[in-house]
Amino acid sequence: MGKRTSRRNGPARDDETAGVAEICKAARGGDVDSVQAILKTKPDLARRDGVQGYQAIHYAAREGHLEVARLLLEAGASPTRVTYRERVSAIDMARNQGHTDVAEAMEAWRLRQSEETETGVELCQAAGRGDLERLNELLESDPSGIHSVNRTGDTALHVAVENHHVEIVQQLLDRGADPNRTNARGKKPIHLALGPRPKRGWDPPPSPLWPVIGGILLGRGAEYDLWVACAIGDVEGARGILDTDPEAVNDWARNYPGMDAYPIAIAADKGHLEVVRLLLERGADPDTPYDKYEGYPVAERGAPLHAAALNDDLKMATLLLENGASAHTVMDASGNALNWAIANGNDAMEKLLLRHGAFPGFDDGVAPGFYASNSDNIAVDAALVNSDPSCAKDVLKGAVHGGHPDLVTLCLSKNPVFSESEMHDVLCLAMRMWRLRCPANPGKAQAEHFYACFGRLLDHGFDPNARDTKGGLTPLHWTAEITWHVSEQDRIVFAEKLIDHGAELNVLGGERQSTPLAMAVRFEWPELARFMLEAGADPNLADAPWATPLKWSENPQGHKEYARLDTKITEMGALLRQYGAEN
């Protein structure tokens, strides 16, 4: 699930892919003239993703090509854009490789583009923690700081709303915070209070305080527009706004960039059936087309139906489909309506979507492994493999994604050929344990099923030291960095299986040239780190002084990327020293 869908296919898409490869090669080689020539005809290539999210600016930064980096920045590249898997920015790459001049130039450029201030950063940090005392200290010393912003363009009010700190919100409004100020993403505080929330199995439930905060904001001057009326289910309010401003029904741009900025999208997400009915009567487009561009182009459509499927809202889905909604939704890295209907075990929703033309796949057609990836139904995919063994590779991916050991065995019996990077990717896919974490986890998926899939891949001959295409990470590295909702005990099980099948513990990989142990420390998995140390991991091995496990214990990333606050940094450092780590 989560496969992205590009806007174009065929020759045009191939030309763009070739263009990205060309500019990345030129940037890597420091070829200023070639980069200039490419940008002159295709400036968008400065911010297009290549393999695993690497853009031209990442290569320029890593190799220390200052003039190329400047050209790319002027053309719109972002020095803070992170790669897909390791989540490393161009600035990080330059710093890690010792290219101080490039890192400083990028940071200076970033600051020039931003309204960020030191006061804004401190205020937002205090607001995010709910630290009213520190917040008041800062505002007493600099009352004008109430309007300052942090690195992402958020005011303290945005951050307080996002973290549902009611008292902080009230204090900021009392001190003059603007309830209609937009952040760098174009969102006002009211959008954060009333907007849609992720509903995957590992996401926390929406805070009951957000609607309360929404009411506070509205009472203190937040604009009451059609989007807000739709978000709270105010049919008459929405009707009145549409009577005076009928164009608002499809004008997402007056709200903020994104499909959920459509009034009908937020109304459907919140389950307000009568509001959606009114919007459709007034000409709302149920497909909510939106051209998204965040490193790659995606022609998204169908946010209301996607939300209905995710919410198990059959009445909403029926209303939308009866009013012309396409049954095949396209959401960047978020699956589609049919796969959520199947993942939720909602047979009625699945049948409704299929009757209206949905197909089990993403991009351009049916995807082998789709049902296995999302449900207990392996009969369809097993029949595909038996009738056409060339499907075995694709079905295998669905089988490990859904946790089906017997289907894995069937696919492997057809002897599909995998490259080293493909073996790496399939092993990592099994470690994600996705279906175990989906909202309802219908059926019989258990952790042991994913362990079995993983073991059968290794027993078949999948290389436990296979490296990925770009960063050179091994599956053992990924036991630490794989999606955060996988438990620490699960990670240890996968690590043990890898080591039993010959995985090397003391191996460097990735942009940070770190060991699997360093990754476990960096992402704050203490028991996984202990397991690796007991298995023989070198506590001092690194490619650079800043990349040792002990250095990562002083500057971990787990609290930032995985929101894990239960591990004290000092405990990890003590563990490493116990096994011989040196300063």
Q: What CATH number corresponds to the domain at position 188?
A: 1.25.40.20
Query: pLDDT at position 142, please?
Result: 94
Does the structure show a pLDDT above 70 at 387?
yes
Q: Which amino acid is residue 434, in one-letter code?
A: W
Does the structure show a pLDDT above 70 at 3?
no
Segment 541-565 shows an average pLDDT of 70
Same domain, yes or no, for 571 and 469?
A: yes
Same domain, yes or no, for 123 and 26?
A: no
Considering 28-32, 251-255, 553-557, the range whose residues carry the highest mean pLDDT is 28-32
Among residues 78, 113, 148, the one where a domain terminates is: 113
- In this structure, the dihedral spanned by the alpha carbons of residues 487, 492, 494 and 498, taken in order and rounded to 10 degrees, is 160
Q: What stretch of H or E contains 459?
A: helix 447-460
Same domain, yes or no, for 108 and 120?
A: no
Confidence of residue 143 (pLDDT cuts 50, 70, 90): very high
Does the structure show a pLDDT above 70 at 9?
no
Segment 181-201 shows an average pLDDT of 89
Among residues 51, 80, 113, the one where a domain terminates is: 113
Angle, alpha carbons 574-578-581 (nearest 5°): 85
Tell me the per-residue pLDDT of 401-411, one tens digit each, with 9 for 90 and over.
Answer: 999 999 999 99
Q: Residue 292: which region, alpha, beta or left (left: phi > 0; alpha: psi -120 to 50)?
A: beta
Tell me the per-residue pLDDT of 257-299, one tens digit each, with 9 for 90 and over.
Answer: 998 999 999 999 999 999 999 999 999 999 999 988 777 778 8
488 occurs within a structural domain: yes
Query: pLDDT at position 566, please?
Result: 41
Query: pLDDT at position 557, please?
Result: 62
16 occurs within a structural domain: yes
Same domain, yes or no, for 96 and 195?
A: no
Confidence of residue 543 (pLDDT cuts 50, 70, 90): confident
**Parallel/antiparallel/unpaired status of strands 297-300 and 290-293:** antiparallel
- Chain centre distance of CA 406: 31
Tell me the per-residue pLDDT of 450-507, one tens digit each, with 9 for 90 and over.
Answer: 999 999 999 999 999 999 887 789 999 999 988 767 889 999 999 999 999 999 999 9
Same domain, yes or no, for 574 and 468?
A: yes
Tell me the per-residue pLDDT of 164-185, one tens digit each, with 9 for 90 and over.
Answer: 999 999 999 999 999 999 999 9
Same domain, yes or no, for 568 and 484?
A: yes
Instruction: Measure the CA–CA gap between 266 and 258, rounded to whole angstroms.
Output: 11
Instruction: Measure the CA–CA gap between 309 and 494, rounded to whole angstroms.
Output: 33
Q: What stretch of H or E contains 297?
A: strand 297-300
Q: Mention every residue, 6+ apart, whose C-beta is less than 8 A from residue 62.
A: 28, 90, 93, 94, 97, 511
Same domain, yes or no, for 125 and 108?
A: no
Helix segments in 258-346, DSSP class H: 263-269, 273-281, 303-310, 314-322, 337-343
CB 2 within 8 A of CB 335: yes
Does the structure show a pLDDT above 60 at 568?
no
Query: pLDDT at position 206, please?
Result: 85
Does the structure show a pLDDT above 70 at 561?
no
Domain that holds residue 288: 246-352
215 occurs within a structural domain: yes
Lowest pLDDT segment from 34-48, 131-145, 353-367:
353-367
Same domain, yes or no, for 324 and 271?
A: yes
240 occurs within a structural domain: no
Same domain, yes or no, for 100 and 124?
A: no
529 occurs within a structural domain: yes
CB 93 within 8 A of CB 77: no
Query: pLDDT at position 136, please?
Result: 96
Query: pLDDT at position 241, please?
Result: 98
Angle between helices 273-281 and 314-322 (to 10 degrees): 10
In whole angstroms, how large is the CA radius of gyration of the chain? Answer: 25
CB 307 within 8 A of CB 285: no
Residue with tokens 């854009």: 81
Mean pLDDT of the chain: 90
- Taken in order 159, 163, 166, 167, the sign of the CA dihedral is negative
Report how many domains make up the chain.
4
Does the structure show a pLDDT above 60 at 569?
no
Same domain, yes or no, for 573 and 474?
A: yes
Does the structure show a pLDDT above 50 at 6?
no
Tell me the per-residue pLDDT of 311-359, one tens digit each, with 9 for 90 and over.
Answer: 999 999 999 999 999 999 998 878 899 989 998 889 999 999 999 999 9
Angle, alpha carbons 125-127-131 (nearest 5°): 95
Confidence of residue 445 (pLDDT cuts 50, 70, 90): confident
Helix segments in 206-262, DSSP class H: 209-219, 226-232, 235-244
Segment 51-78 shows an average pLDDT of 95
Same domain, yes or no, for 147 and 103?
A: no
Instruction: Measure the CA–CA gap between 292 and 4, rounded to whole angstroms.
Output: 11
Tell me the per-residue pLDDT of 10-41, one tens digit each, with 9 for 90 and over.
Answer: 445 557 778 899 999 999 999 999 999 999 99
Instruction: Measure the CA–CA gap between 580 and 334, rounded to whole angstroms.
Output: 44
Instruction: Measure the CA–CA gap between 567 and 112, rounded to whole angstroms.
Output: 36
Lowest pLDDT segment from 5-9, 67-71, 285-289:
5-9
Residue with tokens 């470690």: 431
Residue with tokens 């919100």: 169
419 occurs within a structural domain: no
- Tokens at residue 213, please? 């905060």
Angle between helices 11-28 and 56-63 (to 10 degrees): 10
Q: What percent of the chain has pLDDT over 90?
A: 72
CA-nearest of 546, 427, 540 to 98 is 546
Instruction: Measure the CA–CA gap between 564 and 329, rounded to whole angstroms.
Output: 33
Q: Mention every residue, 6+ apart, whose C-beta is less than 8 A from residue 181.
A: 147, 155, 157, 158, 188, 189
Q: What stretch of H or E contains 290?
A: strand 290-293
Query: pLDDT at position 567, please?
Result: 41
Segment 196-210 shows an average pLDDT of 77
Query: pLDDT at position 106, please?
Result: 96
436 occurs within a structural domain: no
344 occurs within a structural domain: yes
Instruction: Measure the CA–CA gap between 499 and 497, rounded to whole angstroms.
Output: 6
Q: Mention every residue, 6+ apart, whose C-beta is less than 8 A from residue 328.
A: 302, 336, 337, 338, 357, 358, 359
Same domain, yes or no, for 476 and 572?
A: yes
Instruction: Measure the CA–CA gap between 517 and 519, rounded to whole angstroms.
Output: 5
pTM, entire model: 0.87
Among residues 352, 373, 395, the one where a domain terminates is: 352
